[in-house]
Structures are given as structure tokens and as C-alpha cells.
């Protein structure tokens, strides 16, 4: 098929972007003709084998509106057999709403801003339009699908979970020992992995930390007041090293359709504890790993220490959720959405 993938950026700096790059490579391997319609391409990806790039123009201050118009024109001019969108543009057969419903995000994480900020009103309107324009919408969790259905009423929503690279993210005893020596931590260690400490719930993770545990904070944001056993390690290019060295992960996020960090931790054999407002909670191997209060997190950390076989169970979940499994299902839905478009003509 002659396929167009549409997004603002072709890079690997975010979860949606990593999915886009991986899916483009998957399609090329499957023998499809792939065009990526975007405004920005990271330098080292500009010569991606088998991928043709079409530049989308975007102007300030009307970035969303100009990108929508530019993408619509490029899609029409390209005469593609199938079009898949990853961001807030129109003209898609299939739309992957990796961020869930923007209205749901605001409701859960920024209830005051949701009512007062005109920019969020406009972003929600564009989000709704992109979802409604697609023949099929992919959500990466049931949580995300429910929010999209409630807020935007798309024609059809399908859940396709994210996949994780089980070769990069895997248990490694040697790495564990090296990182523990490097950081001089040989006791019980929990890890918090994420950018934006408020939304990701760092305050809850710190408050829940039992006295005998250390917390490593990996992510970009200003450090907050914390006891000495909380170590701020900043953003890391190789987060798998720190996951492999931890005993547990805590992510008390206010809202995440599906936090990849939880799946990456489980692929390393590390139990993830997260809130019910995270779609990744749907794939955790034990119900008690879903925590919504400080007490829940503290009790789960204590229980992890005596839970036999939990690391292996986490790894088994990750092995079932491979990137190729996710890409294969997405391609099936893209082909179906394309057929629906043709049938409607």
C-alpha cells in the first residue's frame, strides 16, 4: 500500500514519536510505500531507509490550525491508499490518539485550567475534530478509549496496547550491580521515571517511601524539597540501566492513557506501582500494584519485598506486549479503515 503517516515531528523524543518511527520502519519491512508528512525531522533520521518525507508548513501563532490545513492539502495531493494520523490533524483513515482525550487530561490533571484557559478550549476542539474525522481511532488502553468515547464520540474506537523492546529493556544483573555501586545504594531502591513531576505524582511517591527505601528520580523538571534518601538523577539517555538496578517503580501519575515507563520497568523484571488513572494499570500482573493513595503505595512497596516470582510475572507481561504485535494490529486496522473509505465513495 501507499501509506501516509502524519505527525508534527519525526523523532524519538516522546512516546508517540517513538511509536511513529517504529511503525514506519515496520511498514517498510512489510514492503509498503511509506511517506511521513511532518514539520520537523530529527537530523539523524532524515535519511531513514524506505521513508519519503513531505514537509508540512506550520506558522506561529496559529500552529495547530496551519498544521491542520497543510496536512489536509498534502494528503489530498498525495493520493494515498491509507492515511494514519498521530497528532491533531484531519484527513486520516486511522487516528492513533496516544494522548487520549485532551478534555479527559484537563479534567483529571488541571481542573481549574480547563475552565479558564482559552488555549485549552481550542486544543480540545482540534482534538475532538481529529478524532471525529477518522473512520477508526486507536486508543492505547481501555482508559483512553473510555475518555475518547465519552468526550468526543468517535465513529469507532479500538484498543491497541503499546509494545516494549524486550531486548533493550530486560533484567541484567551486571548492570544492576554496576549502577548500585555507582550510586552507592545497596539497600531497597524504588525508581520514579517521568518528566513533569507534578503531573507524574512525585510528591505522592516521596510521601509513600518507607524509611528503609531510597528513591531514584529520573526525569526532567526542577528538583523539589525531599529527604536525602531521594536522589534526583535528571533526564537519562539510558533509563533502562536505572530500571534494571531498581527493586520497584512508583508512578502516581494524575493521568496517563498508557505510561510506557511502566511497561519498560516490567520488561526489566521490576514491578510497577501506578494509579488507576494510568492505562498501564490494566496490564499489571497483580491488582494490589494499582495504588491511589499514599498508603496504597507504601503497602505495595512493603509487599513487593516478599512477593515471590513477581519480577518474572512482570517480565512475562512485557514479553506478550511486543512492538511488532502492536504494529501488526495497527496495520490491520489501517487497511480496514482504508477499505471503509473506499466503500463510502
When pLDDT is cut at 50, 70 and 90, the band that residue 113 belongs to is: low
Q: What is the pLDDT of residues 174-209, one digit of tens each?
A: 999 999 999 999 999 999 999 999 999 999 999 999
Fold that domain 2-163+323-344 belongs to in CATH: Rossmann fold (3.40.50)
Fold that domain 173-320 belongs to in CATH: Rossmann fold (3.40.50)
Ramachandran bin of 188, using left for φ above 0, alpha for ψ from -120 to 50, beta for the remaining angles: beta
Question: Is 345 in contact with 44 (CB distance < 8 Å)?
Answer: no
Query: Which whole number is the average pLDDT over 139-153?
Result: 97
Residue labelled with grid coordinates 469507532: 156
For the chain, the first-to-last Cα distance in angstroms comes to: 19
Distance CA 221, CA 224 (A): 9
Task: Give me the DSSP letters along 233-263.
Answer: ----S-HHHHHHH-SEEEE--S-BS--HHHH
Distance CA 51, CA 55 (A): 13
Distance CA 258, CA 274 (A): 11
Q: What is the pLDDT of residues 50-62, one digit of tens each?
A: 999 999 999 887 8
Q: In what order do the strands lie in the sheet with 136-139?
A: 51-55, 33-38, 2-6, 82-85, 94-96, 136-139, 157-159
Nearest to 258 by CA among 150, 122, 121, 164: 164
Rg of the chain taking only CA atoms, in angstroms: 21
Least confident window among 26-40, 42-56, 108-122: 108-122
When pLDDT is cut at 50, 70 and 90, the band that residue 112 belongs to is: low
Q: Where are the domains of the chain?
A: 2-163+323-344, 173-320
| Segments in the chain forming alpha helices (H) | 15-29, 63-78, 102-109, 111-116, 118-133, 142-152, 173-183, 197-200, 202-208, 239-245, 260-267, 294-304, 310-320, 323-344
Provide, rounded to the nearest whole percent, the portion of the chain with pLDDT above 90. Answer: 88
Distance CA 275, CA 209 (A): 16
2-163+323-344 and 173-320 share one fold:
yes
Query: Which whole number is the average pLDDT over 297-313?
Result: 94
Which residues are CB-contacts of 167 (< 8 A; sequence separation ≥ 6)?
none
Query: Which whole number is the average pLDDT over 46-71?
Result: 92
Higher per-residue pLDDT: 293 or 222: 293
Amino acid at each position: 500500500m501507499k501509506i501516509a503517516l502524519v505527525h508534527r515531528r519525526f523523532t524519538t523524543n516522546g512516546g508517540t514519536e517513538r511509536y511513529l518511527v517504529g511503525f514506519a520502519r515496520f511498514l517498510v519491512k512489510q514492503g509498503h510505500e511509506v511517506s511521513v508528512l511532518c514539520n520537523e525531522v530529527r537530523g539523524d533520521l532524515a535519511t531513514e531507509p524506505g521513508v519519503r518525507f513531505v514537509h508540512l508548513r506550520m506558522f506561529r501563532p496559529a500552529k495547530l490550525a496551519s498544521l491542520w490545513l497543510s496536512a489536509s492539502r498534502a494528503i489530498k495531493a498525495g493520493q494515498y491508499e491509507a492515511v494514519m494520523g498521530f497528532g491533531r490533524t484531519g484527513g486520516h483513515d486511522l487516528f492513533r490518539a496516544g494522548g487520549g482525550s485532551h478534555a479527559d487530561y484537563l479534567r483529571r490533571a488541571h481542573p481549574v485550567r480547563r475552565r479558564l484557559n482559552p488555549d485549552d478550549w481550542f486544543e480540545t476542539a482540534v482534538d475532538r475534530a481529529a478524532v471525529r474525522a477518522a473512520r477508526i481511532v486507536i486508543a492505547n488502553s481501555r482508559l483512553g478509549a473510555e475518555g475518547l468515547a465519552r468526550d468526543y464520540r468517535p465513529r469507532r474506537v479500538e484498543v491497541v496496547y503499546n509494545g516494549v523492546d524486550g531486548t533493550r529493556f530486560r533484567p541484567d544483573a551486571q548492570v544492576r550491580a554496576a549502577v548500585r555501586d555507582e550510586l552507592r545504594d545497596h539497600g531497597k531502591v524504588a525508581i520514579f521515571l517521568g518528566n513533569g513531576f507534578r503531573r507524574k505524582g512525585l510528591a505522592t511517591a516521596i510521601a509513600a517511601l518507607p524509611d528503609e527505601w531510597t528513591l531514584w528520580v529520573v526525569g526532567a523538571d526542577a528538583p523539589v524539597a525531599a529527604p536525602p534518601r531521594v536522589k534526583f538523577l535528571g533526564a537519562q539517555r539510558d533509563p533502562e540501566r536505572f530500571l534494571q538496578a531498581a527493586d520497584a517503580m512508583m508512578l502516581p501519575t494524575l493521568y496517563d492513557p498508557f505510561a510506557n515507563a511502566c511497561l519498560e520497568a516490567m520488561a526489566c523484571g521490576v514491578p510497577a506501582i501506578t494509579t488507576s488513572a494510568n492505562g498501564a494499570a490494566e496490564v499489571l500482573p497483580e491488582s494490589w500494584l494499582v495504588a491511589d493513595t499514599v498508603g496504597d503505595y507504601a503497602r505495595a512497596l512493603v509487599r513487593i519485598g516478599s512477593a515471590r516470582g513477581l519480577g518474572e510475572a512482570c517480565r512475562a507481561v512485557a514479553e506478550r506486549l511486543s512492538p511488532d504485535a502492536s504494529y501488526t494490529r495497527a496495520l490491520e486496522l489501517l487497511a480496514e479503515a482504508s477499505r471503509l473509505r473506499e466503500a463510502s465513495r
